[in-house]
Structure 1
Amino acid sequence: MIKLAYIDPYAVPDIRVASLQILQNVDAFARHDMQVFVVTPPSHTTVESLLGRSVSEGVVFSPLNDPRGKWYFPFNTQKIFFLMVRRWLKRNPVDAIYTRNLKMARFLLSQKLGIPVIFESHEIFAQSFKESHDLSQAKNQRKYQILLENEHFVYQNAAAIVVLTSFLEEDIRRHYNVDTPCIVSPDGVDSVAANEALKTVSQLPSIPVSIFYLGSLHPWKGIPTAISAMRHVTGAKLTIAGGNAEQITTLSALAQQEGVAAKIDFLGYVNPRQRFHEIARHDICILPLTKTSIASRYTSPLKLFEYMAMGKAIVIADLPSIREVVDESSVFFVESENSEELGSVLQRVVDDRDEAQKRANAALELAKTFTWDHRAQQISRIIHHLLRQN
């Protein structure tokens, strides 16, 4: 049985989206001939509170003491944790290391541990930074150059790279000129939790029709477009779940400005354990992503697969990253950042329930191929291959 160390400088389990993805990944890895050691700072959250169940027996949580924030260590540096990871690896032999944290990967690869390091990439950080910062400022230019150097080092020296879309692989190879083995493996869905929710929650149509967004409220998610789109929709209300108080305040002000405040409810934070039940309560689910690199080329939205697994009508931005997963037979596409078209398509879905149900059924069937277990099988094959070569 392969011994895999999944290492991250942030606690797992935790309510962060990245932590939830890691938790579901390691759970699936452990079901596919691996013993997985989760090496992170201590967690103050239980697995059961997030998943509604325990993880596989092959998952071993190995928390390392984290001095950050303590009175005797008033610094936020991750270097101490990195050194503790190195010591843990010397005391606990493993066959391979897996991480999705760039700084962690850079450190591990620089240590020449003689252990294959697999890096899971979710974006080109330098590209995302360039799109969201003013590079005429010297401080930002320095950060950008550091990101370029770190990414090149990791992509050049990793034993393998796992990416969410083929476009991300294409951009990594073009930007950094590397020939490192790469596997394209989209995110997945917790089919166990989804199936349980389908059994227990009534899915009778709402009056008015209920439109739903669940996820973070980062700018690249396109929520302002969805809010403006409600000007063109009648007979429906939009519920937005997620985000912090500051983000909700800003978006509430936009809803007032657009004259649609009465059509929009902000639900705030939803515990991951309840996410499928929340999805089940609504009729139409949306992902109004923007044209940024992370949305158009790199993302593999967890929420898309969760919407699909709950058999929902889905309205989503028409972007290359999304087209890799679905087509018009299973979702309704709209032009990204076009609020008028989004409103028009939402109205069509509200009015044509037969077509909405037809595509929802197709999405539900397609979701069966996008599970964490399917993803674990893909990645485990790569790890087995790497270890046979060494």
Structure 2
Amino acid sequence: MQRKIIYISHWRFPSEKTMTPLIMKTCEGFIREGFSVELWIPKRPSGFAGVDPFIKHGIQKRFPIYALSSIGSINKFGKLGFILMAFTFNLSVSARLLRERKNNTSLILYGHDIRDFIVPSFLKLPLFIEIHDFYESSFNFINRLVLKKTSGLIVTNTFKQKAIESRYGFPLDRMICQPNAVSFEMFDIPVSRQQAREKLSFPSGIKIVLYTGHLFSWKGVYTLAESASYLSSDTYIYFVGGTKEDRKALEGFVTAKKLPRIVFLEHQEHVNIPFFQKAADILVLPNTAKEVASKYETSPVKLFEYMASGVPIVASDVPSIREIVSDKEVFFFIPDDPQNLAKVIRNAMNDERAVENRSRASKVLARTHSWPSRAQAITALIKKCT
């Protein structure tokens, strides 16, 4: 009998969040590895009514997506709404699993959030969880409860691997470190900078420093905005993406500080992001060092996409990024230092040889972080632990 992986996630599908295509790429990878796959999600508004998630997120292999009953709304009731939604989703998942288990004894549970398995973990099915966010304090009890019943863990960097082993005693032989990945061909497009700018109606007579993605403060976007004061008058900073609320907050900061030559563009379809990246002179990953999530925990999908584009990268010198790239692939700057960031950007723009060498090296490295190879490594762990 073909083994079935049931991916369980409380996220919205489709959505503007990076995690959504990541989850779907993981499911697609499992199908290529020979598994039957289903994605179970809660019934909740996605904000993209009528939009096909497979088309929106560039997924070639289709699989069933089932929306299960849940109560609660994060948007309306905040944290309390999330707790209610997560709890009722746990119950719906468990009830469906009990029925599913009668007809299929080869089920494997998979997900990326421990909170989705508080109740399902008691069903004694093989359970594998990706650790992207390392929950602390109030979640320790839940972590211990679920991890005791978990067959294997996939962590996205060695910091989390060591922390989980030391704090929870989870065996290292049932845990692998697998960073996030990239669809290399999607971002390695045969388009010149000028062609990309013409397609997007960007001006050709300026230098563009570009950031794509969410505008959370821990991502260092405020540092990038402040660096505008130290850049030349022909250099513009483009922010592409973010929610309306986060964009409004950053725009207010820019206005209050009277920061020059900053352009904000709303969230773009993921399939169009490669053109925005190709239009840039420099791509920036400005993570702060002031928060643990940024300094140690993250494995930025954005970084892998930047690398595949072949556009030079300026990145914050924090351990989470250093674990993936070195001075051979990117230009590092001192975290949370807008003046140093501007200096590194200027130096990169004026050093053609260094740019060429790093861009070539980053593309080579990006090829090693593919979704198929990631799925193969996770499949090996699943086979080992079941």
The TM-score, its normalising length taken from structure 1, stands at: 0.86
| Aligned equivalent of 1:203 | 193
Matched residue type, 2:217: P
Cα 1:357–1:207, aligned 2, differ >3 Å: closer, same or farther? Answer: farther
Cα 1:157–1:67, aligned 2, differ >3 Å: closer, same or farther? Answer: closer
| Conserved? CA contact 2:124–2:149, under 8 Å | no
| Aligned-pair CA distance for 1:354 | 3.3
Query: C-alpha offsets along residues 252-273 of structure 1, whole Å, 9 cap, x if unaligned?
Result: 2322344323x11011211222
How is 1:55-66 mapped onto 2 (pairs within 5 angstroms)? 55-57=60-62, 59-66=63-70
| Aligned equivalent of 1:50 | 56
Query: C-alpha offsets along residues 290-334 of structure 1, whole Å, 9 cap, x if unaligned?
Result: 112111211110000001111110000111111111111110011
| Aligned equivalent of 2:37 | 36
SS in 1 for 2:327: coil
| Aligned equivalent of 1:267 | 265
| Aligned equivalent of 2:201 | none
Measured in 1, the distance between the counterparts of 2:329 and 2:92 equals 47
How is 1:114-133 mapped onto 2 (pairs within 5 angstroms)? 114-126=124-136
Cα 1:248–1:62, aligned 2, differ >3 Å: closer, same or farther? Answer: closer
Measured in 1, the distance between the counterparts of 2:130 and 2:270 equals 22
| Aligned-pair CA distance for 1:75 | 6.5
Are residue 153 (structure 1) and residue 161 (structure 2) matched?
no
| Aligned equivalent of 2:353 | 354
Measured in 2, the distance between the counterparts of 1:75 and 1:356 equals 48
Cα 1:353–1:5, aligned 2, differ >3 Å: closer, same or farther? Answer: same
| Conserved? CA contact 1:105–1:119, under 8 Å | no
1:99 to 79, 88, 111: 111
Gaps of 5+ in 1: 127-143
SS in 1 for 2:118: helix
How is 1:330-369 mapped onto 2 (pairs within 5 angstroms)? 330-369=329-368
| Aligned-pair CA distance for 1:9 | 2.0
Measured in 2, the distance between the counterparts of 1:177 and 1:264 equals 48
| Aligned equivalent of 1:182 | 175
SS in 2 for 1:217: coil
Are residue 85 (structure 1) and residue 93 (structure 2) matched?
yes
SS in 2 for 1:157: coil
Matched residue type, 1:174: S
| Aligned equivalent of 2:200 | none
How is 1:273-288 mapped onto 2 (pairs within 5 angstroms)? 273-288=271-286
Matched residue type, 2:178: S
| Conserved? CA contact 1:188–1:372, under 8 Å | yes
116-125 or 349-358, which moves further after superposition? 349-358
Measured in 2, the distance between the counterparts of 1:380 and 1:12 equals 24
| Aligned equivalent of 2:385 | 386
Cα 1:352–1:258, aligned 2, differ >3 Å: closer, same or farther? Answer: farther
Measured in 2, the distance between the counterparts of 1:299 and 1:75 equals 26
| Aligned-pair CA distance for 1:369 | 0.3
Measured in 2, the distance between the counterparts of 1:86 and 1:242 equals 36
RMSD: 2.1
Cα 1:66–1:202, aligned 2, differ >3 Å: closer, same or farther? Answer: farther
| Aligned-pair CA distance for 1:84 | 1.8
179-188 or 11-20, which moves further after superposition? 11-20
Measured in 2, the distance between the counterparts of 1:328 and 1:117 equals 38
Gaps of 5+ in 2: 74-79, 198-203
Measured in 2, the distance between the counterparts of 1:5 and 1:249 equals 38
| Aligned equivalent of 1:224 | 222
How is 1:304-315 mapped onto 2 (pairs within 5 angstroms)? 304-315=303-314
| Conserved? CA contact 2:70–2:92, under 8 Å | no
SS in 2 for 1:14: coil
| Aligned equivalent of 1:302 | 301
| Identity value in percent | 25
372-381 or 245-254, which moves further after superposition? 245-254
| Aligned-pair CA distance for 1:230 | 1.6
SS in 2 for 1:385: helix
| Aligned-pair CA distance for 1:176 | 2.5
1:193 to 186, 189, 198: 186
Query: C-alpha offsets along residues 110-155 of structure 1, whole Å, 9 cap, x if unaligned?
Result: x2x22111111112221xxxxxxxxxxxxxxxxx43x121122223
76-85 or 180-189, which moves further after superposition? 76-85
